[in-house]
């Protein structure tokens, strides 16, 4: 549980409750002196079947925070049929700004994963959120060998459900390569930007900057004039990361 | 306005219509002549057509299978079923929640606006046929901008208010959605009318199967698994020339 508050122009980590294997670094102040950067670490090396990681993040008024995951989230095989779970809940008070760029989630062979992210924010707060879902350990030829991957991602701006993005991928029970599903893609990248700043951004300009190749497909859409949703479907992780970083840097 | 009021007093209201009439009315609201504008929506399919990825009957059938099982059956069809149920229980809080979720699930801008546009046209078309308490309440919430008027939720409420069986409501919804897509593909690819007829005939058993799945699904089974179709819907707004509005 992390709580941030703005005090005398500086965002401070005012409350931090942590239990092993999750650990947060202290607040670091990099280029932007007003923004607190905190690294999230996972000391066990990955989620074992039945594990449940829980993150609660609360940004009080005007707090400005960047959370970075130190490494990819590895989900180990579920040999006891239990799912590994990750719950993230975020609350952004008025004027707060949160950036969260996690590393990829990698479900190993026979893994079961159940992720759930709920973001509640105010109209004048800002969220920049990224996510990468990997097919498994690609370099070991272990793509789509996992048992099940479920994820639910919701953004509520006050009473309005701005995004409700849920996935349930089960490679043995679904033709993932069929037209309309993942087709040839291996990696799924998503980026969400919700902010009053969206009003002054040209979505078409952002769209025209995408580099589309045989390795990567991308698009962007507007969410009610309040947010932007970017999605990438890619066969190459590095090309995907490069593209996501390019857009990320434009929005920060 | 006075004409509309007179009309609404004169017939087709809910109470006391036979099951056969209910069924006929269900056919009527899915007829291609029923003006909700489904012929203007491709829900992302046009992007695939322009990329020459749907050129034959078989490719169309494959596309429809993905759309049926990984978009409709784990998306709007569940919302239709849940709305029908909530309307039967007059659970307005649940209906408002379903509207919010329906809005949030449609990430591509054109899918969201397409669903609202069809809902608005549906509402305008059915209101003169008679107002039930449920539809009256939903209309007033729509006028107050409390809801946006997504088609799936409205259709669930309307069929419940007419006492139409839930299973038939869902199955006709799936059939009409797939039929609409095929008719649009026949025009846009283009394919022959006979290919369209054969494609739909081939899909009938799968529509039934998907309908049975939906009856066992709950809100926990809402999934946006057809990521390729979603990507195509997002890209649709940037296509150079377009026959459809989504």
- Which of A 224-243 lie inside 8 A of B, CB atoms? 224, 229, 231, 233
Q: Which domain holds residue A148?
A: 2-251
Of chain A, the percentage scoring pLDDT greater than 90 comes to 82
Which residue on chain A is closest to B105 by alpha carbon? A164
Note whether A168 contacts B223, CB cutoff 8 Å: yes
- Is residue A72 a contact partner of residue A42, using CB atoms and an 8 Å limit? no
pLDDT at B7: 41
Task: Measure the CA–CA gap between A63 and A211, rounded to whole angstroms.
Answer: 34
Q: Estimate to the nearest angstrom the gap between the alpha carbon of A113 and the chain centroid.
A: 15
Which residue on chain B is closest to A225 by alpha carbon? B109
Task: Measure the CA–CA gap between B114 and B53, rounded to whole angstroms.
Answer: 23
Contacts of A159 in chain B (CB under 8 A): 100
Is residue B8 scored above 60 in pLDDT?
A: no
Task: Measure the CA–CA gap between A64 and B213, rounded to whole angstroms.
Answer: 45
- Give the least confident one: A75-79, B117-121, B179-183, B203-207: A75-79
In sequence order, what are the beta bridge partners of A84? A113
Is residue B111 scored above 60 in pLDDT?
A: yes
Query: What contacts B71, CB < 8 A, 6 or more positions away?
Result: A180, B43, B225, B226, B229
Q: Estimate to the nearest angstrom the gap between the alpha carbon of B122 and the chain centroid.
A: 10
Is residue B110 scored above 90 in pLDDT?
A: yes
From the list A160, A174, A217, the residue facing B231 with the nearest CB is A217
Question: Quick check: A209 contacting B, CB < 8 Å?
Answer: no
- Is residue A113 a contact partner of residue A75, using CB atoms and an 8 Å limit? yes
Find the helix or strand (DSSP H, E) in which A248 lies. helix A237-251
Task: Measure the CA–CA gap between A57 and A91, rounded to whole angstroms.
Answer: 6
Please state the domain extents for chain B: 39-229
Is residue A206 scored above 80 in pLDDT?
A: yes
pLDDT at A84: 93
pLDDT at A31: 80
Residue B190 token pair: 């283009």
Rounded to two decimals, the ipTM of the complex is 0.94
Q: Considering only CA atoms, which of B231, B234, B241 is closest in space to residue B66? A: B231
Contacts of A223 in chain B (CB under 8 A): 107, 109
From the list A161, A179, A229, the residue facing B100 with the nearest CB is A161
Task: Measure the CA–CA gap between A50 and A177, rounded to whole angstroms.
Answer: 29
pLDDT tens string B204-245: 999 999 999 999 999 999 999 999 999 999 999 999 899 999
Is residue B2 scored above 60 in pLDDT?
A: no
pLDDT level of residue A33 (50, 70, 90 thresholds) = confident
Task: Measure the CA–CA gap between B120 and B6, rounded to whole angstroms.
Answer: 22
Note whether B103 contacts A160, CB cutoff 8 Å: yes
At CA A54, angle to CA A52 and CA A60, rounded to 5? 175
- CATH superfamily membership of B39-229: Urease accessory protein UreF (1.10.4190.10)
Query: What contacts A65, CB < 8 A, 6 or more positions away?
Result: A4, A11, A35, A36, A37, A38, A57, A59, A96, A97, A98, A99
pLDDT at B11: 41
From the list A167, A179, A231, the residue facing B66 with the nearest CB is A179
- Is residue B44 a contact partner of residue B111, using CB atoms and an 8 Å limit? yes
pLDDT level of residue A239 (50, 70, 90 thresholds) = very high
Task: Measure the CA–CA gap between A147 and A143, rounded to whole angstroms.
Answer: 11
Note whether A160 contacts B66, CB cutoff 8 Å: no
| Region of A224 on the Ramachandran plot (φ > 0 left; ψ -120 to 50 alpha; else beta) | left
In sequence order, what are the beta bridge partners of A116? A87, A152
- Is residue A185 a contact partner of residue A235, using CB atoms and an 8 Å limit? yes
Q: Estimate to the nearest angstrom the gap between the alpha carbon of A71 and the chain centroid.
A: 13
Task: Measure the CA–CA gap between A142 and B98, rounded to whole angstroms.
Answer: 38
Task: Measure the CA–CA gap between A168 and B69, rounded to whole angstroms.
Answer: 12
A52-59 vs A84-92, strand pairing mode: parallel
SS3 for chain B is CHHHHHHHHHCCCCCCCCHHHHHHHHHHHHCCCCCCCHHHCCCCHHHHHHCCCCCCHHHHHHHHHHHHHHHHCCCHHHHHHHHHHHHHCCCHHHHHHHHHHHHHHCCCHHHHHHHHHHHHHHHHHHHHHCCCHHHHHHHHHHHCCCCCCCHHHHHHHHHHHCCCCHHHHHHHHHHHHHHHHHHHHHHHCCCCHHHHHHHHHHHHHHHHHHHHHHHHCCHHHCCCCCHHHHHHHHHHCCCCCCCCCC
Note whether B70 contacts A174, CB cutoff 8 Å: yes
Contacts of A157 in chain B (CB under 8 A): none
Mean pLDDT of A173-197: 97
pLDDT at B15: 55
**Mutation to test the A interface, candidates B51, B54, B228, B232, most A Cβ within 10 Å:** B228
Mean pLDDT of B61-78: 98
Is residue A236 scored above 70 in pLDDT?
A: yes
Distance from CA of A167 to the nearest CA of B (A): 5
Q: What is the mean pLDDT of chain B?
A: 92
- Is residue A66 a contact partner of residue A36, using CB atoms and an 8 Å limit? yes
Note whether A164 contacts B101, CB cutoff 8 Å: yes
Note whether A174 contacts B225, CB cutoff 8 Å: yes
pLDDT at B16: 66
Is residue A20 scored above 90 in pLDDT?
A: no
Which residue on chain B is closest to A203 by alpha carbon? B238
pLDDT at B17: 81
Query: What contacts B232, CB < 8 A, 6 or more positions away?
Result: A180, B44, B45, B47, B48
From the list B107, B222, B227, the residue facing A181 with the nearest CB is B227
Mean pLDDT of A221-237: 97
Of chain B, the percentage scoring pLDDT greater than 70 comes to 93
User: Residue A232: exposed, middle, or buried by beta-carbon count in 10 A (0-12, 13-18, 19+)?
Assistant: buried
Is residue B50 scored above 60 in pLDDT?
A: yes
pLDDT tens string B120-161: 999 999 999 988 899 999 999 999 999 999 999 999 999 999
Which residue on chain A is closest to B228 by alpha carbon? A180
- Give the least confident one: A18-22, A66-70, A144-148, B220-224: A18-22
- Could you give the number of structural domains in chain A? 1
Task: Measure the CA–CA gap between B43 and B117, rounded to whole angstroms.
Answer: 13
Note whether A180 contacts B59, CB cutoff 8 Å: no
Distance from CA of B123 to the nearest CA of A (A): 22
């Amino acid at each position: 549980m992390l709580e941030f508050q703005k005090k005398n122009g500086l965002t401070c980590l005012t409350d931090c409750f942590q239990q092993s294997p999750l650990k947060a670094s202290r607040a670091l102040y990099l280029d932007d002196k007003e923004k607190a950067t905190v690294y999230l670490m996972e000391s066990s090396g990955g989620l074992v079947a039945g594990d449940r990681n829980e993150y609660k993040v609360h940004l009080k008024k005007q707090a400005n925070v960047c959370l970075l995951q130190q490494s990819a989230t590895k989900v180990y095989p579920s040999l006891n049929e239990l799912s590994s779970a990750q719950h993230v809940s975020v609350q952004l008070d008025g004027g707060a700004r949160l950036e969260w760029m996690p590393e990829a989630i990698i479900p190993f062979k026979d893994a079961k994963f159940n992720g759930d992210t709920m973001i509640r924010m105010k109209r004048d707060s800002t969220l920049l959120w990224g996510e990468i879902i990997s097919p498994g350990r690609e370099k070991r030829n272990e793509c789509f060998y996992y048992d099940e991957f479920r994820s639910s991602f919701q953004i509520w701006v006050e009473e309005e459900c701005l995004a409700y993005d849920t996935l349930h991928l089960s490679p043995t029970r679904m033709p993932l390569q069929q037209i309309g599903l993942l087709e040839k893609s291996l990696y799924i990248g998503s980026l969400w930007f919700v902010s009053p700043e969206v009003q002054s951004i040209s979505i078409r300009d952002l769209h025209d900057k995408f580099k589309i190749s045989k390795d990567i497909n991308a698009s962007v859409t507007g969410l009610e004039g309040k947010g932007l949703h970017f999605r990438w479907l890619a066969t190459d992780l590095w090309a995907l990361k490069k593209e996501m970083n390019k857009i990320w840097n434009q929005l920060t | 306005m006075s004409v509309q009021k007179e009309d609404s007093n004169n017939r087709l209201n809910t109470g006391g219509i036979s099951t056969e009439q209910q069924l006929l009315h269900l056919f009527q609201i899915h007829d291609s002549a029923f003006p909700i504008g489904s012929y203007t929506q491709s829900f992302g399919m046009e992007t695939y057509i322009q990329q020459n990825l749907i050129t034959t009957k078989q490719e169309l059938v494959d596309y429809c299978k993905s759309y049926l099982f990984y978009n409709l059956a784990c998306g709007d069809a569940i919302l239709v079923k849940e709305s029908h149920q909530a309307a039967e229980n007059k659970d307005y809080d649940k209906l408002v929640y379903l509207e919010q979720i329906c809005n949030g699930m449609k990430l591509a801008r054109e899918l969201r606006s397409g669903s609202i546009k069809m809902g608005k046209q549906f509402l305008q078309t059915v209101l003169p046929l008679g107002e039930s308490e449920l539809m009256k309440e939903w209309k007033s919430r729509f006028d107050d901008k409390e809801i946006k008027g997504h088609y799936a939720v409205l259709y669930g409420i309307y069929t419940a208010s007419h006492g139409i069986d839930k299973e038939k409501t869902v199955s006709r919804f799936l059939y009409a959605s797939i039929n609409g897509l095929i008719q649009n593909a026949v025009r846009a690819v283009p394919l022959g009318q006979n290919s369209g007829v054969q494609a739909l005939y081939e899909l009938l058993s799968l529509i039934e199967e998907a309908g049975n799945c939906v009856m066992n699904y709950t809100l926990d089974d809402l999934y946006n698994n057809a990521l390729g179709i979603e990507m195509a819907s997002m890209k649709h707004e940037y296509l150079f020339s377009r026959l459809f509005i989504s």
